[in-house]
Amino acid sequence: MNEFCEQIADILDVAEVKGADVLRDFEEWDSLSVLSTIAMLDARYGINITAVDLKDIRTVAELWDLVQARKE
Amino acid sequence: MSVSEDRPFTLVSGASSGIGRAIALRLSPRRALILHGRDAARLEAVRKDCADPPAHLIWPCDFRNASQVASALTDFMGGIPAGIEGLVHCAGIVHVLPARSAGLEAVMESLNVNYVAAQQIAATLLKKRVNRARLRNVLFISSIFSRAGARGHSLYCASKAALDGLMRALAVELAPEVRVNSILPGAIRTPMAETAMADPEIMARWQQDYPLGLGQGGDIASAVEFLLSDNARWITGQQLVVDGGRSVNLSLK
């Protein structure tokens, strides 16, 4: 999950993120970040999620759980 | 019909899926094709779906590594004395990234696939000792993003604009022997657009933005057929927009 946190931190333009961090609390979590996250998950993890899937996701850890669930 | 010694080929890059595949299927009854893609197995599958499969060849090559494209194509051409008369560069890659996150690796990948590969292929096909001055027609599959902006698409917009710049320069330099044009598709139902199409909000917006609705690979194949034909004999150096009216739609709602 460390690498995943780095990738999310990069999208959010912050030094680091933790599992408990709430995505919506970040200034940079806008529609472009959502788009970038979707593209990153497709490129790095080979999974297709939509903006609708992301709406129910609160924290970084929850997003990681979704990635794990979709990978299986 | 099988591969002939004197029937020149048309090279379609990015032919494994989406628009490139639709172009290959459309051209296959009347042209001998070289189908390019990254994956040989997927190319073989496309070849089997083409009209007259034995008439066509496959050329697997990874354009992300641009330094090998010219030499790989030169080697490949050694086996086809009939040469290549037409090039349709359809290979393309999209990185969706905020401008501040566009690292060099993503920049180079976008440029290599969308632009450098097209330039290297064209240069190779213009060498007499490789292609015997057989080239007559070059078509680049660009994008309406070549002339506009879209958030998160700086690399895609820039690489497609580079491609269209090359198109105009080649059109002037290679006339009258070779015609060079590009086609600028809007949103087409392809695997590349799959993620966006799975999003109901984006789909709803697209329904509004596209007066004629979303396009299909065949709509681009029709434009390719026209520009490759003698019906387009006095057309060179042009961007043909095929986008269902998207780029001229300024409706507020």
Structural domain includes residue B137? yes
Please answer yes or no on whether A36 and B101 come within 8 Å at the CB atom: yes
Confidence of residue A71 (pLDDT cuts 50, 70, 90): confident
- Which CATH superfamily hosts domain A2-71? ACP-like (1.10.1200.10)
Structural domain includes residue B106? yes
Confidence of residue B252 (pLDDT cuts 50, 70, 90): confident
Strands B239-242, B179-185: pairing kind = parallel
pLDDT 10s digits, B52-67: 999 999 999 999 999 9
Structural domain includes residue B193? yes
pLDDT at site B188 = 92
Kindly state whether A32 is in contact with chain B, defined as any CB-CB distance less than 8 angstroms: yes
The b/e string for B186-222 (b: 16+ C-beta within 10 A; e otherwise) is bbbebebbebbbbbeebeeebeebbeeebbebebbbe
The Cα of B210 is separated from the nearest Cα of chain A by a number of Å equal to 21
Q: Tell me the CB-side half-sphere exposure of residue A61, using CA atoms within 13 A.
A: 4
B contact test, residue of A28, A32, A42, A53 with most B CBs within 10 A: A32
Q: How many domains does chain B have?
A: 1
Average pLDDT of the residues in B237-241: 98
Domain that holds residue B232: 9-244
Q: Which residue of B has its CA nearest to A40?
A: B96
CB proximity list for B248: less than 8 A, separation 6 or greater: none
Partner residue facing A51 (CB), from B100, B101, B201: B201
ipTM over 0.85: no
Residues of chain B found within 8 Å of residue A48, distances taken between Cβ atoms: 194-195, 198
DSSP state of B67: G
Structural domain includes residue B97? yes
pTM given for the model = 0.91
Residues of chain A found within 8 Å of residue B149, distances taken between Cβ atoms: none
Structural domain includes residue B19? yes
Please answer yes or no on whether A48 and B198 come within 8 Å at the CB atom: yes
Side by side, which strands form the sheet with B9-13?
Answer: B57-60, B32-37, B9-13, B84-89, B137-141, B179-185, B239-242
Is the pLDDT assigned to residue A13 strictly greater than 80? Answer: yes
Kindly state whether A59 is in contact with chain B, defined as any CB-CB distance less than 8 angstroms: no
Structural domain includes residue B92? yes
The Cα of A20 is separated from the nearest Cα of chain B by a number of Å equal to 24
SS3 B153: strand
In angstroms, the CA B204 to CA B67 distance is 42
Structural domain includes residue B249? no
Domain residue spans of chain A: 2-71
pLDDT at site B1 = 56
Strands (E), A1-72: none
pLDDT at site B130 = 95
Structural domain includes residue B250? no
Please answer yes or no on whether B98 and A50 come within 8 Å at the CB atom: no
A contact test, residue of B93, B94, B96 with most A CBs within 10 A: B96
pLDDT 10s digits, B193-237: 877 787 788 888 888 999 999 999 999 999 999 999 999 999 999
- For residue B91, give the CATH number of its domain: 3.40.50.720
| Percentage of the residues of chain B whose pLDDT score is greater than 90 | 86
pLDDT at site B200 = 84
